[in-house]
Structure 1
């Protein structure tokens, strides 16, 4: 964050800049290697209240079919067997609580829906940047992550999968958002 920018100056409605946002994941495979991937299609936004961050909110919708791991066979299996995109095309997150934990750090708690199952999760976010773009629009950046147990959402296939793919999945967020006029 710019040293001259105050948190209170960031208040407003924001929309995700999907061209500059990455929503990724990392999972251990056969406990020796890591599979990295990302989702390429998503939309979302936030209301930021710089004077009272607890009044802030976040919403995110991810197109499950957009999962990419750079392995077409694995991607097809993730879409069909693991995420069941035909019956559950979206993964969603809707915040229920925002807590400021440091000068530029926040815990965002909310409902994560995957395969029709909703569980509460908390994402640790850090405000990573603030700037005006060449068009004069205010942009903010946040980085965050959390580790989930995919079994809590029924993201599993069979017993062999449990032995080959770790239940723990690291979700990574590198977010850019543009304040709306």
Structure 2
């Protein structure tokens, strides 16, 4: 069964260390993609696309810098893409979703820790929907995101480890 990710009910967020003392948080809107499940409702594949042009950290200057060639280069690489390569059940509703993440033109294997809910009927539309949450930590430099500034007191402006979290709702196709 195919489920289409609903951009209006899906959030992609990220956080990364800033100045070595706090985290900058942001979001990416308009996430699209699909989730495939078998007859028992177990996920069998996941595809997601996150448009870099929608990055929002609450600072227009920072957002524009993130979209520039220093970071994501949104003009050349407009989307962050995830395509699953295998899904392993870890527990009741819990999964390890292995796949290829493409960001800034670089594709690397990652594994998302995920929870996926069973289908429910939307009382407004009458359609079946599923939901889920997934998280992955990765090193941005593995994807060619190298820009940084050394700080006078030591350390760097931008941390290397990024935590990406998805909260997804999808409707039966």
Higher helix proportion (structure 1 or 2): 1
CA-to-partner distance for each residue in 1:17-36, whole Å, 9 max, x for gaps?
11111011011101111111
User: How far apart are the structure 1 equivalents of 2:41 and 2:126?
Assistant: 25
Is the 8 Å Cα contact of residues 44 and 59 (structure 1) preserved in structure 2?
A: yes
Is the 8 Å Cα contact of residues 137 and 178 (structure 1) preserved in structure 2?
A: yes
CA-to-partner distance for each residue in 1:67-89, whole Å, 9 max, x for gaps?
11010000000000200111111
User: How far apart are the structure 1 equivalents of 2:41 and 2:51?
Assistant: 31
Q: Choose which of 62, 71, 74 in structure 1 pairs with 2:50.
A: 62
CA-to-partner distance for each residue in 1:45-83, whole Å, 9 max, x for gaps?
1111253847x1111111111111010000000000200
Q: Which residue of 2 aligns with 1:138?
A: 128
CA offset at residue 157 of structure 1?
A: 1.2
Q: Choose which of 167, 175, 179 in structure 1 pairs with 2:172.
A: 179
CA-to-partner distance for each residue in 1:130-164, whole Å, 9 max, x for gaps?
42112211111101111010000011214538711
5+ residue gaps in structure 2? none
Q: 1:52 to 1:43 in 2, by over 3 A?
A: closer
User: How far apart are the structure 2 equivalents of 1:178 and 1:77?
Assistant: 34
User: How far apart are the structure 1 equivalents of 2:19 and 2:73?
Assistant: 22
5+ residue gaps in structure 1? 1-11
Q: Which residue of 2 aligns with 1:170?
A: 163
Is the 8 Å Cα contact of residues 93 and 115 (structure 2) preserved in structure 1?
A: yes
Q: Normalising by the residue count of structure 2, what TM-score does the alignment of the two structures yield?
A: 0.91
Q: Which residue of 2 aligns with 1:160?
A: 150
Q: Normalising by the residue count of structure 1, what TM-score does the alignment of the two structures yield?
A: 0.87
RMSD (Å) for aligned C-alpha atoms: 1.7
Is the 8 Å Cα contact of residues 21 and 175 (structure 1) preserved in structure 2?
A: yes
Equivalent residues in 2 for 1:1-181, closer than 5 Å:
12-51=1-40, 53=42, 56-80=44-68, 81-128=70-117, 130-134=119-123, 135-160=125-150, 163-180=156-173
